[in-house]
Structure 1
């Protein structure tokens, strides 16, 4: 059976992903046997505390373990992916407003931590599935005179307009290279918006403040 790690696992997307995996009796790709196998253990890793309203279907499932820590701390990535049959959903990230205010920390969290996680995964579970979340911020602003149906894709030139977008461009290229070398089976998903967690929003996050407020309350 396969262990699944979700970093940023106690956030909005992490919780929803965890619930889906647990509900459907997920089958995950095994880098050892190179076939689909049942989920054995789901680890939710996060830098924040455990939410009081964490759903019972997560807290009461014996396959779930929650770990709190700093993904940039030395040795932590290796501790998180220390099994040969692993898969990773990497959601942990420092969002745009915070990244603008502290670009050095953004580089540590968004780029260096991902590299450490990839290195650890490649060492313990070569060829394991690694799915991470990027962002449409990698493209920056819409080009001048863009038509209403304009759509960016993998062939679109990436011109990020902030530190967060820049970090995500680097992360995309990094995963591409690890996948090219066969170290991991890497995939990326560009999200158009991030729903921040409840609490005081960071500066420069007015739009996210309204989004989070609109989505406040039970989800799914």
Structure 2
């Protein structure tokens, strides 16, 4: 901007100097006129300067104004580009932060499922170690379930408790908020099912899972029977 201003001022000064020089060259060197003492002559000289130097400085002003507008447009264009780049960077940063939050949330959710699965595993293991029907030195619940011989006439609250623990874990698997992590949670639950598979198959075969809602019952049977085709998240 400073260079353009200098050019405009120099242009106006040269025009003014050239006009005065031409005036003096014509009247003093060619015509040999002396300096006038008449105010009218000096008024005419002032009008001459106003018509030459004044116009040149006016043109210089217009030039500087046009240059200022051009620079402002250029700066506005650069500002828009910088703002667009800033918005893009902010959007990328926001997306990265959102993804990071999602990853942290997913990791936390999976850790919760792992912890819950271990608790259910401990509960089921404890129930399977108990004597069936609370009979002293009687067969364990695990042995009863693994042999598939369930005496429905006996008190079978222990077996119902095992089914309840299994159904509870399945209900967590089928929660809508866990849908994005369904396959990972299935792998976690399958590890527990594999450990107690014979007992859980007996539960399913003897109708202990039938009292729960359809999706829990169906997924419980699919996991116990390793039928992966029947496993799918709930809508």
Same fold (TM over 0.5): no
Compare relative contact order (CA 8 Å, sep 6+) and give the higher one, 1 or 2: 1
Q: TM-score, normalised by structure 1?
A: 0.25
Q: TM-score, normalised by structure 2?
A: 0.23
Going by fraction, where is strand more abundant, 1 or 2?
A: 1
Going by fraction, where is helix more abundant, 1 or 2?
A: 2
